[in-house]
Amino acid sequence: MKLTDKQETPKVELAIITGMSGAGKTVAIQSFEDMGYFAIDNMPPALLPKFMELIRESGTLTQLALVIDMRSRSFFSEMQNILNQITDDPNVDFRLLFLDADDNELVARYKETRRSHPLAVDGLVLDGVKKERELLRPIRAFSQIVINTSNLTPRQLRAQIIKEFKEEQSHQFRVEMLSFGFKYGLPIDADIVMDVRFLPNPHYVPELRALTGQDKAVYDYVMNSPESEDFYQNFMAMLNPILPGYEKEGKSSLTIAIGCTGGQHRSVAFTERVGKELSEHYHVNITHRDKDKRKETVNRS
């Protein structure tokens, strides 16, 4: 669909990542992907104006992160002019992130990985680092954000990038709540697994058997027992102190899986209750993996 004069052109958030070779651009682009940006590594500068034109016409992508660095042969000759064009575009919210590190640290990183610096003369890494630093001096001065990664772990660099670019910090860390049935196997991507098979089972109540933990009658049956309330209070007392620790350690999501025998009644009810409680402080997604497995089995037979 083409934009008419009356339609507002969507504004594009564009982050360009550049800087010294070995300073952490791979970690940076992965961090932007985790924040929901459409990310491209090693974008040739000459393609950028046409690429941005296509993005604006499509109107489907509003957050872009691109790594542009000296792997492109035309980097130094074209980069400055192209950055000036982007800066003048009123429909692009543009920020340039420059990653740097001390010479000694860059040399050590190259030695550790046994890679050769692209500008090294006769294999001397330090010569390549110094030459690149001089060539990049104008780009560094043009950058809105400069991060020196010399003393940063990948996790710390990721946290700093998120702090600079993520506006809604509360939505960065995501909790995935998952109910499941043990008879169908453990979820392979769970970080925390809890077993609620010790609770009263609605399966043995004829009028509740065909329902699920999302139905009020089943939910009330599960939650109104003393065992359930005691377990819930203790489970939340365990979760509430540790979730900030997972977030602080740089995890973008945490999967909490709650299982019962068939994944239809007790685990569904508990997943709903815990998910609702956690959603007051975190971004929560709720999935019931096996809730309808029994119905599917009955239909097939």
> Where are the domains positioned within the chain?
12-167, 172-300
Q: β-strands 38-40, 145-148: how paired? A: unpaired
Q: Is 216 exposed, middle or buried (0-12, 13-18, 19+ CB in 10 A)?
A: exposed
Q: Do 32 and 166 meet the contact criterion of CB atoms below 8 Å apart?
A: no
What pLDDT shows up at residue 4? 43
**What is the residue-level pLDDT of the chain in tens, covering all 301 positions?**
344 444 455 678 889 999 998 899 999 999 998 888 989 888 887 788 888 888 877 777 788 899 887 665 556 666 777 777 777 777 788 888 999 999 889 888 887 876 777 777 666 888 888 888 888 888 888 888 999 999 888 988 988 898 888 754 444 678 999 999 999 999 988 999 999 999 999 999 999 999 999 999 999 999 999 999 999 999 999 999 999 888 877 677 899 999 999 999 999 999 999 999 999 988 899 999 999 887 655 454 4
Q: Which CATH class is domain 12-167?
A: alpha beta
Identify the CA nearest to 295 among candidates 208, 214, 210.
210
What pLDDT shows up at residue 49? 80
What pLDDT shows up at residue 9? 59
- Could you give the C-alpha distances from 146 to 183, 200, 270, in angstroms and in order? 52, 58, 46
What pLDDT shows up at residue 106? 87
What length is written for the chain?
301
What pLDDT shows up at residue 241? 93
First-to-last C-alpha distance (Å) of the chain: 47
> Does the predicted TM-score (pTM) go above 0.85?
no
